[in-house]
Amino acid sequence: MIEICALASGSNGNSYYVGNGEEAILVDAGISTKQLLLRMKSRGLDPGRIRAVFLSHEHSDHARGIQVLSKRQAVNIWMSKRTWGSLPVYFRPPYVKFFTPGETVTIGTFRVHTFLKNHDAAEPCSFRISHGDKSVGVFTDIGAPCDRVKNALQECQAAFMESNYDEKMLWEGPYPWPLKQRVASDVGHLSNLQALQLVQEYAHPHLECLFLSHLSQENNTPAMAWSAFEPLHSRMEVKLTSRHEASEVYRLE
Ligand SMILES: [Zn+2]
Ligand SMILES: [Zn+2]
């Protein structure tokens, strides 16, 4: 059994929980530790189960909480060496371990498959976390889908999938022109439509649950992301995530 939950998701803070009832892995800790622990408890998830935190890249919406969380829970933060090199000193955790992108790391009964993604950070990575014969993908902050993410998606029964912006809202919205270009570029973020196409083309037939993740506050709404995925509603559970509270806990049996 795998339990998954988006503790925080959006352009201003991300943290994703993957556990098996006894041990858990977090991907990113981009909110305060106080908030993160409160949100875990609000969903009945015991912070004492956290065995490792994997950091996808150094941007503050993913790294803001890692220093305090590492200290408070005495937990290792795993990251690539170039991510460490680009991490501001005030985010650097006391307990750190390194992986080489492409490496699979074993944490208890979990295997964490790490791979590079297209995003404007030093050495940004996505993760597929497997336990037994099930896999969960954490796929956010992707400018353009590469073969690595397509292959990983084909292995997943559940995934946190970036659905960052609605194209019309982005181009007609308040962002300055260079920022619009950055978001839409191959090293920015996936739009609702790009994410839908990725899932439609590459999802495993047994993908049963998709959490729409990392929604932009300015350039998307939960309702728009939700309706963009209408074509998949009959095929799988499509769920929304929030910047304000933890999502429901979904169980892969
Ligand atoms: Zn980022
Ligand atoms: Zn981000």
CATH number at residue 68: 3.60.15.10
Residue 206, class by beta-carbon neighbours within 10 Å (0-12 exposed, 13-18 middle, 19+ buried)? Answer: exposed
Return the SS3 of 233.
coil
- Ligand 1 centre to CA of 22 (Å) is 30
**Residue 191 within any structural domain of the chain:** yes
Helix (H) or strand (E) holding 50: strand 50-54
What pLDDT does 204 receive?
Answer: 87
Q: Determine the distance separating the centroid of ligand 2 and the alpha carbon of 30, expressed in angstroms.
A: 9
What's residue 54's pLDDT?
98
Number of structural domains (the chain) is 1
Phi then psi for 58, rounded to 5 degrees?
-85, 0
Q: Which domain holds residue 96?
A: 2-246
Location of structure tokens 């932009």: 216
> Domain for residue 176, yes or no?
yes
Q: Are 72 and 33 in contact (CB under 8 A)?
A: yes
Distance between Cα 124 and ligand 2 center (Å): 10
CA distance linking residue 125 with residue 140, whole number of Å: 9
Q: How far apart are CA 212 and CA 6, in angstroms?
A: 10
Q: Cα dihedral angle (152, 156, 160, 164), rounded to 10 degrees?
A: 50
Residue 106 lies in a domain: yes
Distance of CA 94 from the midpoint of ligand 1 (Å): 22
Domain assignment present for 8: yes
Query: Whole-prediction pTM value?
Result: 0.97
Residue 252 lies in a domain: no
Q: Are 142 and 119 in contact (CB under 8 A)?
A: yes
In a domain, 33, yes or no: yes
Quote the pLDDT of residue 53.
98
Q: How much distance in Å is there from the Cα of 70 to the middle of ligand 2?
A: 20
251 lies in a domain? no
CB neighbours of 210 closer than 8 A, spacing ≥ 6?
158, 159, 161, 199, 229, 232, 236, 237, 238, 239
- Residue 33 C-alpha to ligand 2 middle, in angstroms? 18
Q: Integer distance in angstroms from the first to the last C-alpha of the chain?
A: 5
Query: For every one of its 253 residues, what pLDDT tens digit does the chain have, with 9 covering 90 and above?
Result: 999 999 999 989 999 999 999 999 999 999 999 999 999 999 999 999 999 999 999 999 999 999 999 999 999 999 999 999 999 999 999 999 999 999 999 999 999 999 999 999 999 999 999 999 999 999 999 999 999 999 999 999 999 999 999 999 999 999 999 999 999 999 999 999 999 999 999 998 899 999 999 999 999 999 999 999 999 999 999 999 999 999 999 999 9
Evaluate whether residue 253 is within a structural domain.
no
How remote is the CA of residue 222 from the centroid of ligand 2, in Å? 17
